């Protein structure tokens, strides 16, 4: 094991009971690393909507309390377990390199073998595992995080700043995977994005970079729609200020009277699914990414048959998507207003304020910076 000098404990935001206000606590730093593991010093951790849902106890996924909140982060390598001297895309790793890393995949279950690591039956997720037992540090709102041996990890290119690398580790890798699963996009094709949160905004940037004919967005509120335009959206519709009929008419006008060839759903609103099915062009592809809640809607399945649609889902992201997210930021980041997504800066001592502001929709993507140790 190669290591820098390490403290005995890490300040971390621990959720012991859902909905309770959080303040930093001291959590042990593991003294030994398993072969293949890394220990990183967190340099930035951005807040994802899922963090809020977990904190509030609103998630349908199992959570082994107490857990360290946060799963969107970037850190600098401070200890390297045996055999972990390279990242998952064969780049050398040394102390001081920055990395982002995936939830674990076992590599040997049916889904891993079929090339679907995000569906791994033996998946361990950061922020879902207890911090009461070694290796303790499995969440992002912590000075230090333990990277499990079975987590894919990718070195962050020097040109990608901490805030954006952090955002690559959940929001952007999810978008990159959705585009990968969607398949080819052509310059003749119209695309509709439902939702103008961080994923929707990033998807606009990725779609415009891919060179489609037009990108329309249905979202809100109005300040957010202004940002959609800055990200390159051609047509922007406020979901609260328009009727479904008005939106359908505007989308038809923007798409040669036929409808979008591709619809991507990032809104999380179950009603968006029914609207997407109604708007999409015959022969179209519908990629559903935002639906993680429990809501239900009525649809007419005949629409899928009669329009000859491909309806697809995409969950989370694997190592290749993290790599693609970082490369996207390295190549296109300087020409895009992605930094505008980072709306507020907090510290471990003010995480609760960030949660409150985000729940009140006063933030898009707040970031937590770790204070240097005095």
Summarize as ranges the residues that interact with Zn ion (CB under 5 A): 48, 50, 105-106, 109, 112, 120, 170
Distance in Å, CB of 116 to Zn ion, minimum: 9
Closest C-alpha among 176, 172, 151 to residue 163: 172
Q: Quick one: tokens of 179?
A: 């585009």
Neighbours of 334 (CB within 10 A): 9
Rounded to the nearest whole angstrom, what is the least distance from the CB of residue 231 to Zn ion in the complex?
Answer: 19
Cis peptide bond upstream of 66, omega within 30: yes
Q: Which residues contact 238 (CB under 8 A, 6 or more apart)?
A: 219, 220, 221, 222, 225
Q: Which is nearer to Zn ion, 104 or 216 (CB)?
A: 104
Write out the DSSP string of 203-235. Answer: HHHHHHHHT-SEEEEEE--HHHHHHHHHTT-SE
Contact 68, 130 (CB under 8 A): no
CA distance 79 to 32: 9
| HSE, side-chain direction, 13 A CA sphere, residue 134 | 7
Cβ proximity to Zn ion: between 114 and 188 the closer is 114
Q: How far is the CB of 121 from Zn ion (least distance, A)?
A: 6
The least distance separating Zn ion from the CB of residue 109, rounded to whole angstroms, comes to: 3
CA distance 230 to 197: 14
Question: Which residue, 80 or 127, has its beta carbon nearer to Zn ion?
Answer: 127
Q: Looking at beta carbons only, is 48 or 80 nearer to Zn ion?
A: 48
Minimum distance of Zn ion from residue 141's CB (angstroms): 13
Min dist CB 261 to Zn ion, Å, is: 28
Judge whether 193 and 368 are in contact, CB under 8 Å: no
Instruction: Give the DSSP letter of residue 241.
Output: T
For Zn ion, the closer of residues 106 and 310 by Cβ is 106
CB of 223 to Zn ion, least distance (A): 22
Nearer to Zn ion, 279 or 288 (CB): 288
SS3 263: strand
Q: Report, in Å, the least distance between residue 106 CB and Zn ion.
A: 4
Burial 36-54, CB ≥16 within 10 A → b, else e? bbbbbbbbbbbbbbbbbbb
């Amino acid at each position: 094991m190669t290591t820098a000098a390490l403290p005995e404990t890490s300040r971390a935001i621990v959720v012991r009971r859902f909905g309770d206000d959080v303040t930093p606590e001291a959590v042990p730093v593991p003294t030994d690393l398993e072969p293949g593991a890394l220990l990183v010093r967190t340099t930035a951790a951005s807040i994802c909507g899922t963090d809020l849902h977990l904190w509030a106890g609103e998630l349908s996924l199992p959570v082994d309390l107490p857990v360290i909140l946060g799963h969107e982060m970037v850190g600098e390598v401070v200890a390297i377990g045996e055999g972990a001297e390279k990242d998952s895309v064969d780049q050398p790793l040394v102390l001081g390199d920055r990395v982002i890393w995936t939830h674990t995949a076992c590599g040997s279950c049916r889904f891993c073998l079929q090339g679907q690591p995000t569906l791994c039956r033996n998946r361990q997720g950061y922020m879902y595992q207890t911090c009461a037992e070694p290796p303790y540090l499995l969440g992002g709102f912590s000075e230090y995080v333990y990277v499990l041996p079975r987590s894919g990890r990718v070195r962050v290119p020097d040109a990608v700043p901490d805030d954006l690398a952090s955002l690559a580790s959940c929001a952007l890798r999810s978008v990159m995977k959705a585009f990968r699963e969607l398949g080819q996009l052509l310059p003749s094709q119209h695309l509709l994005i439902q939702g103008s949160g961080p994923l929707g905004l990033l998807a606009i940037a990725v779609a415009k970079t891919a060179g489609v004919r037009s990108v329309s967005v249905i979202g809100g509120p109005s300040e957010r729609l202004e940002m959609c335009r800055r990200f390159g959206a051609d047509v922007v519709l406020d979901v609260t200020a328009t009727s479904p009929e008005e939106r359908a008419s505007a989308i038809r006008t923007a798409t040669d009277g036929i409808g979008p060839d591709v619809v991507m759903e990032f809104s999380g609103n179950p009603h968006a699914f029914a609207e997407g099915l109604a708007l999409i062009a015959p022969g179209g592809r519908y990629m559903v990414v935002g639906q993680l809640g429990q809501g239900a809607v009525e649809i007419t399945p005949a629409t899928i048959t009669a329009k000859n649609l491909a309806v697809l889902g995409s969950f989370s992201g694997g190592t290749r998507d993290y790599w693609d997210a970082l490369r996207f930021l390295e190549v296109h980041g300087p020409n895009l207003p992605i930094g505008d997504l980072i709306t507020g800066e907090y510290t471990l001592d003010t995480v609760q304020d960030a949660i409150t502001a985000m729940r009140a929709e006063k933030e898009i993507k707040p970031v937590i910076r770790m204070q240097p140790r005095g």
